[in-house]
Amino acid sequence: MSTSKKLLSIILLTSIFGIFSLPSTASEQKTLNKSYKIKTTSNLAKIGRKAARKQVPILLEFAATDCSYCVLLENEILNPMLLSGDYNDKVIIRKVYIDEDLTVKDFNGRKIPLDKIVLRYGIYVTPTIIFIDHKGKELAKRLIGINTVEYFGSDVDKAIDLSIKKIRKNQYSHHSQ
């Protein structure tokens, strides 16, 4: 068999196997895509209650709709974190678009304009990631912008681990008194 026929056979077989590995319906593809994309939130009180129940931090991304760096952060770091399943019991990951004219529920359940949350946290650049507890208190150094993607995931992991330690330490000190 000639080299070109072998190559054609390999391409054909790869294509056939690739077709069988794809979701069979458009709804399955939609479900797959939706399941592993960072969710937006307008209810910080609800997310806070969930974080308190699970005793985990909240990773809150502040993004803008036309922010290419936000898309890079989500595609290369945050969405793969969700897809892996490794973070399900470690952190709640959510996103807020700072350029939307929204009313949100703050951590006390009060409805306030989104720009008050943005001002409260001093967000001036997107993407910015903050690591907060169930009351909205920052637990680790925020990550502003995105630099080298290869190292950024490590920075996110370190901030999550530090946040978890602070939450668990705080829980322990409240119970021991």
Residues 62, 100 within the same domain: yes
Residues 54, 15 within the same domain: no
For residue 36, which phi and psi values (nearest 5 degrees)?
A: -115, 30
CATH number of domain containing 163: 3.40.30.10
Q: How many helices (H) and strands (E) does the chain have?
A: 7, 7
Answer whether residue 15 shows pLDDT above 80. Answer: no
The beta strands (E) that lie in 34-142 are given as 39-40, 58-63, 92-97, 103-105, 111-113, 128-132
pLDDT category, 36, cuts 50, 70, 90? confident
Domain count, the chain: 2
Looking at residue 142, its pLDDT comes to 97
Residues 5, 86 within the same domain: no
pLDDT category, 171, cuts 50, 70, 90? low
Select from 38, 73, 74, 72 the least CA-distant residue to 58.
38
pTM: 0.77
Answer whether residue 45 shows pLDDT above 70. Answer: yes
- Each residue's pLDDT tens digit, 89-143: 999 999 999 999 889 999 999 999 999 999 999 999 999 999 999 999 999 999 9
Pair type for strands 92-97 and 111-113: unpaired
Structure tokens, 147: 């630099």
Q: Which domain holds residue 107?
A: 36-175
Looking at residue 37, its pLDDT comes to 87
Residues 9, 57 within the same domain: no
- The secondary element (H helix, E strand) that includes residue 126 is none
